[in-house]
Amino acid sequence: MAETPEARAASAPLRMGTWFWGCGITPGRWTPDIVNNEFVLKPESAPLEKVKQHLNFLTGFDAILDGKPNHVHVSGTFSLRSGIAPTKFGVMEGPTFETAIADRIGAGVRFKTVDFSATGNVRDTYSYRSAQVRNTPEVSPEALYDRLFGVEFNASAGGEFVPDAKALRRLSVLSVVGEQRKSMAQQLGKEDQDRLDQYFTSVREVEQQLELQTVEPARVEACQAPARPEPMEANYDLANVHRNHELMARLLAMALVCDQTRSFNVLFSNSASSLHRSGEASSHHLYTHEEFTDSELGYQVETSKFVVENMKGWAKFVEILANTPEGDGSLLDNCLVFAHSDTSWAKIHAVQGIPMMTAGAAGGRLRTRQLVTANGDPITRVGLTLQQLVGLPISEWGAGAMRTDAPVSKLLA
């Protein structure tokens, strides 16, 4: 029996997303201690004080490269997301795990996934549907608004529902295209067939979006289209990144409330972090390699300040979800947000102990306030855990030395 709009609105669905920041942390200045079952934060994680009750910290997990080169600012992220250590620089060798999660939890919603980059650069994304196909992020608040709440948005505010006539016409055209697929595939080699399959997967997702415009949407009382943001600069200037990130996070939160999507990928800073302060030429990445370690303090002072800025962004994102009401609790209660960087210590491009966090209770499936300290375990244990948590029927995941059948059970409620 098809799910009615009323039934969909009555139960809060599970949402899952990722949040990325570049250039890691400073060893000894980020990982919290646990005292009396509470996090005691370090200088670089201090911005998370107000949201720490929603978090888990994971340390000591490694990207194991099986003798392959450590492609700087690439190998860590690609190994974590795909389970496969990359052979070539910048070449992902398989789909990233969060796309499988999006397929699992995103049926029946308008957008399979919503991605945005706060840096203004469309290339800043690490979510791949296949080795060749990346999810394209929105890179400005106004573009994200237009996608989520533009002319095709229907909040179903009451009254008689009338299917969108334009959507019906477009559906008819797509059905004809789909019928031509088999005859085209018979004339192609395997590699071209794979490309054709990827294309028609995209066509099918468009078709599903159009189908939803012909069906009465769920009536969610809290769903209200926000005002369209004013155009503003989108680049690596730290002030602009913070502003755009917050605006887009608020748009995403309302899109989740409205059940426009249940999956998302957010990028605060790119892997070789290009963040810079207004009027300064040096970027976060440049500081990690050119700044001397302070002889008295024992760390790179300016580099550490950028880590703090990244954590301010993460804290703001978690705060927005936690302050968005849903049912008897908050939107964050029904979310699983996985945050990570590309390296642990950017100064030496280390892929051992890559910093990771989760936020949210995943609808009661996930514990919080946990510090998980591994001992060089494959980082794929985390990806396996998240996939199993949403119900994907897999018993192991990863390739080579990173293949694992051991989820991080400490996180599971």
42-53 pLDDT per residue, tens: 999 999 999 999
The pLDDT of residue 40: 98
Same domain for 79 and 198: no
How much is the pTM?
Answer: 0.87
Encoding tokens for residue 45? 């994680």
Same domain for 328 and 365: yes
The pLDDT of residue 205: 62
Q: Is 353 exposed, middle or buried (0-12, 13-18, 19+ CB in 10 A)?
A: buried
Per the structure, the count of domains in the chain is 2
CA distances from 21 to 220, 245, 306 (A): 32, 12, 11
The pLDDT of residue 157: 42
Alpha-carbon gap, residue 118 to 137, rounded angstroms? 9
CA distances from 24 to 27, 87, 291, 316 (A): 9, 22, 16, 18
- Kindly write down the DSSP assignment for every residue of 141-190, as one continuous string: HHHHHHHHHSTT-----SS-----HHHHHHHHHHHHHHHTHHHHHTTS-H
Residue type, 132: Q
Same domain for 182 and 93: no
Alpha-carbon gap, residue 51 to 322, rounded angstroms? 8
Same domain for 166 and 152: no
Cβ distance 6 to 13 under 8 Å? no
Residues in the chain: 413
Same domain for 293 and 181: no
- Residue 306 domain-assigned (yes or no): yes
Domain span including residue 114: 15-156+223-397
The position carrying tokens 């990445």 is: 285
Compute φ and ψ for 293, nearest 5 degrees: -75, 125
The position carrying tokens 């004809």 is: 176
Same domain for 186 and 244: no
Same domain for 236 and 349: yes
Same domain for 195 and 269: no
- Residue 3 domain-assigned (yes or no): no
- Residue 330 domain-assigned (yes or no): yes
177-236 pLDDT per residue, tens: 555 666 666 667 766 766 666 665 665 665 565 555 555 555 677 898 999 999 999 999
CATH of the domain at 347: 3.40.720
The pLDDT of residue 151: 84
Non-local (6+) Cβ contacts of 356 within 8 A are 57, 58, 59, 61, 338, 339, 340, 379, 382
Per-residue pLDDT tens digits of the chain, which is 413 residues long: 344 444 444 479 999 999 999 999 999 999 999 999 999 999 999 999 999 999 999 999 999 999 999 999 999 999 999 999 999 999 999 999 999 999 999 988 889 999 999 999 999 999 999 888 899 999 999 999 999 999 888 765 444 445 555 555 555 554 555 556 666 666 677 667 666 666 656 656 655 655 555 555 556 778 989 999 999 999 999 999 999 999 999 999 999 999 999 999 999 999 999 999 999 989 999 999 999 999 999 999 999 999 999 999 999 999 999 999 999 999 999 999 999 999 999 999 999 999 999 999 999 999 999 999 999 999 999 999 999 999 999 999 999 999 999 999 999 99
Non-local (6+) Cβ contacts of 131 within 8 A are 91, 92, 93, 94, 95
